[in-house]
Amino acid sequence: MKLTRKNLRILLVDDDENDAELLRAALNEAGFTHALTHFRNGSITLEYFKYTKATGSSVPHLVLLDLNMPLIDGVRALHRLREESSFRELPVVILSADNDPAKRCEVAKLGIFRFLKKQANNANVIAALDNFIDFYNNEAASMAAPRGPAYLSPGERLLWARSKGTTVAGSTDPLARYRR
């Protein structure tokens, strides 16, 4: 399946309700019409991922994660996600007003797709999402060569399966090798 603005599943994790509504409006205006799920802290987010793993539910294509939140902040939530093999390669974009170099370095080591500074118009988020879609589709096209799934790594099999509109149980996202 080709990823587009219309079918990209996004999880937004941000405690600021105003920022979340501004982002939702900007995404709708830009044509991102598929599900945007919003959680207010890292604790709820981790529970959600436990549920998706236990039930085999589909996970979002991409997570937009704020760093400064109550209960479990974005850095701790990302650490805990990366500890779980099922979510180790999940594409994450950090979206935060916090520009602390130590935090930026820490989340970069955990493997993120981008680190974005929060802006009022969210143009940087739209551009990053478009970049992710292009990257994802280009990888899917190059991985879906006639080699077939038997000759691909587990991550490549997942991308190959997604490009065909199916899923491969137990696979991880192959994009991680480009984020480290």
Q: Which residues contact 25 (CB under 8 A, 6 or more apart)?
A: none
Which tokens is 137 given?
């589709």
E strand map for the chain:
10-13, 36-39, 62-65, 92-96, 114-117
Give the pLDDT confidence score for residue 147 in this predicted structure.
42
Which tokens is 151 given?
């000759």
Q: Which residues contact 175 (CB under 8 A, 6 or more apart)?
A: 89, 91, 113, 135, 136, 139, 155, 159
Q: Which residues contact 86 (CB under 8 A, 6 or more apart)?
A: 49, 53, 172
Give the pLDDT confidence score for residue 119 in this predicted structure.
83
- Please give the angle made by the CA atoms of 57, 61 and 65, to the nearest 5 degrees: 105
| Alpha carbons within 13 A on the beta-carbon side of 44 | 13
Give the pLDDT confidence score for residue 162 in this predicted structure.
60
Give the pLDDT confidence score for residue 30 in this predicted structure.
92
Q: How far is residue 162's CA from residue 58's CA, in Å, rounded to a whole number?
A: 12
This prediction has a pTM of: 0.75
Residues of the chain with pLDDT under 70: 140-180
Give the pLDDT confidence score for residue 127 in this predicted structure.
92
The owner of tokens 């190059």 is: 142
